[in-house]
Amino acid sequence: MSTLGKDFQRKFGKQIRAPLAAVASLWLPVLLLVGLVSLRCLLAGNMGQVNETNILPFARQQANPNWLPQDWYLNQPPGYRVPFIAIFGRMADAWGFLPTSIIGRLLGYTGLSAGLVFLSRRIGLSLPLLLLSMILFLYVNTGLSGASGAQGTVSREWLFGGIEPKIPAYTCILFALGLLLEGRIVLAGLLLGVATSFHTLVGGWAFLVAIAWLGLWRRDLLRNLGNVLKMLALYAVGAVFSIRPVLQQLTTQTPEGRFSESFVYVFIRTPHHLNPLSWDGGWWLKPVMLLAIALGSAVLLHRIAKQRRQLHTPHYQARMGLTAFLLCSLIPFVAGLLAAPFDTEGKFLQYYPFRFGDIMLPLNACLLGCCALEQAMSGRSPVGSFSQLHGELPNRLPSELPNSGASATGQAAKRLRRVSLWIVAAVCAAQAVVFVQQAIALQDFPSRAQRIDRAGKELCEWIQQNTPRDAIFVTPPVELDNFHWLAERATIAKFKLVPPASVGIAEWIDRLTRLSGSVDPWVGIQRDRNNSLDIQRRMTQGYRNLTTEQAIVLMQTYSAAYFLSKGSPKLDLPVLYQNEDYTLYAAPNAAAQQGAQVPPP
């Protein structure tokens, strides 16, 4: 090759390699983190226990009103969910629920992972320790939770799970937090506004916490009035989709009912999220332990930085700023605890004051704990470039990983990163077995992972094939809460499917009361206990004891042509379908049009 050709190859190669290295240093850590999270969460209960079972059908109905126009819950006002509906509602209508669940989760995990990588760069956390922190968050932290799959401390909040509006909201919040640690409050305000548009409560609490953080920790940033005004203006722009539902919530007169809408949310439907008086006696142990880990890590980081004379480095300032943000996120949490004994109607508790701090505490405890561990094992603080912290991984074995500082950090730090990677690899290898089993199980979707057995699946398939699409069904108020998307038929009301806007709460109570027949499901409600399970048991008992006359009245009241019950036939109504678990009746005036009875299998 000529000298001119060699020069061209060398210059052209440099021009190509530099952008590729920059892309690899940014996206490789994101892809690794997405893979780690996906092994744990991607195929876990798609359209099952998670909120996808009510949020995705709701989004589909709002995107396509002709899907189930007779279903009462699905046609409630959307509230703050407009941006989510615009994206995932159309996706669910075009591709179906399972593809939307998987693709939506992948998109959500990618956004969250990118936000975590962005945040880890600010605090100087290397890639091996970032991955280890997520192992701790997803496995150890979750294993300490009282509820299956809950990643928060006590009020059952989570970050990685099914696709719903709070996933894009938390994605924006993680990026905004990284910007706040850098002092870039203007762009952070815009991202917090977008988070509020996706999820009003998550984004709203994050914004208020950010304001508290600025006032208590970074007052110097508030001296630039121009930037503060720009931050507030851009927050309003980003939060544009939340303004209308917030104003409606504050100004709309809701119909009077037996209970106020706030009482329903706090003491009836979601006490596990909102009512600390109903939580288990030892609920405080996990938050106290995590707070001790976070604060202990911050103290250790401070001592190390002081010893190394690095108190003014960007990484140290970011770590202390993250600790301060964590403490500010607990202000609403503490306010909720203080208000609980006196908030008899749930007027304050209904706004989920525990939600944001509940997830920020374990997440930041894991990040700060791993950061402190890495610094304690390192000879000096990692002050190298992002490629030194997160890059150079594709072509190297764990034993060949570079140090996270500009110079060598010592054998202890190398061993720590090596051990971290082997721990991550071992956990992922074990989880891969579960992942393969979950993938195989999805061949029979929907199945037990979607809380439907063979008899229920056969029932819903028969209904799809043999009943009009616009038919309305009276179904149990608690059982088969996934009936609307499995059978694709309208139903009356479900305890799980509470209206997203307060205007529907009174009718929701009325419908569930009627479905309970002669049993009053709302008796004996106490503020210091979780009433949800007792209410559901009474509803199920009342529905199963409905008489023929009561069933006919229900069908007439809601213009329903069908009545579904569990067990063998007990009502004096035409039986259209029966299997070992379910019996489907027709209204007397619709029996002749429906055809012959289907015998038991």
Predicted local confidence at residue 403, as pLDDT: 44
pLDDT average, residue stretch 142-152: 68
Tell me what percent of the residues of the chain surpass a pLDDT of 70: 87
Confidence of residue 258 (pLDDT cuts 50, 70, 90): confident
- Please tell me the predicted confidence (pLDDT) of residue 410: 65
Lowest-pLDDT range, 68-72, 534-538, 594-598? Answer: 594-598
Give the pLDDT confidence score for residue 22 in this predicted structure.
55
> How far apart are the two ends of the chain, measured CA to CA in Å?
80
pLDDT at position 392, please? 42
Helical segments of 442-531, H only = 454-466, 483-486, 505-515
Window from 190-194, 487-491, 590-594, 596-600 with minimum mean pLDDT:
596-600
User: To which residue do tokens 């619709």 refer?
Assistant: 590
Tens digits of residue pLDDT in 470-522: 999 999 999 999 999 999 999 999 999 999 888 889 999 999 999 999 999 99
DSSP label of 596: S
Give me the mean pLDDT over the 20-39 stretch: 84
Residues 562-568 have a mean pLDDT of: 93
Quick check: 404 pLDDT over 60? no
Confidence of residue 141 (pLDDT cuts 50, 70, 90): confident
Q: Judge whether residue 596 has pLDDT over 50.
A: no
pLDDT band at 5 (very low <50, low <70, confident <90, very high): low
At residue 13 the predicted structure's pLDDT band, cuts being 50, 70 and 90, is: low
Element (H, E) at 576: strand 575-578
pLDDT greater than 80 at residue 86: yes
The larger pLDDT score, comparing residue 267 to residue 282, is at: 267
Cα Rg of the chain (Å, integer): 27
pLDDT tens column, 155-164: 989 999 999 9
Higher pLDDT, 133 or 405: 133
Task: List, as one string, the DSSP characters of 395-453.
Answer: T--GGGPPPSSSS---HHHHHHHHHHHHHHHHHHHHHHHHHHHHHHHGGG-SSGGGT--
pLDDT (average), residues 20-34: 80
- Greater confidence, 208 or 378? 208
Residue 397 — pLDDT band, cuts 50, 70, 90? very low
- Residue 28 to residue 25: CA distance in whole angstroms: 6
Give the tens place of pLDDT for each residue, 173-187: 999 999 999 999 999
| Of residues 414, 395, 396, 418, the one with CA closest to residue 405 | 414
pLDDT top residue among 248 and 104: 104
Using alpha carbons, select from 268, 344, 261 the residue that is nearest to residue 535.
268
Tokens 């208020």, located at residue = 208
The model's confidence at residue 253, banded by pLDDT at 50, 70 and 90, is confident
pLDDT of residue 147: 52
pLDDT at 23 over 70: no
pLDDT of res. 500: 86
Mean pLDDT of 546-561: 95
Specify the pairing of strand 490-491 against strand 562-566. unpaired
Lowest model confidence (mean pLDDT) among 16-25, 68-77, 490-499: 16-25
Distance of CA 13 to the CA centre of its chain: 44
On the question of pLDDT at 577 being above 70, the answer is: yes
Average pLDDT over residues 143-170: 84
Return mean pLDDT, the chain: 88
Instruction: Check residue 145 and give its pLDDT.
Output: 59
Which phi and psi angles does 584 have, rounded to 5°?
-110, 120
Q: What is the DSSP letter of 2?
A: -
Q: How much is the pLDDT for 391?
A: 43
- Predicted confidence (pLDDT) per residue in 341-369, tens digit: 999 999 999 999 999 999 999 999 999 99
- Helix H or strand E segment including 120: helix 97-123
Residue 401 pLDDT greater than 70, yes or no:
no
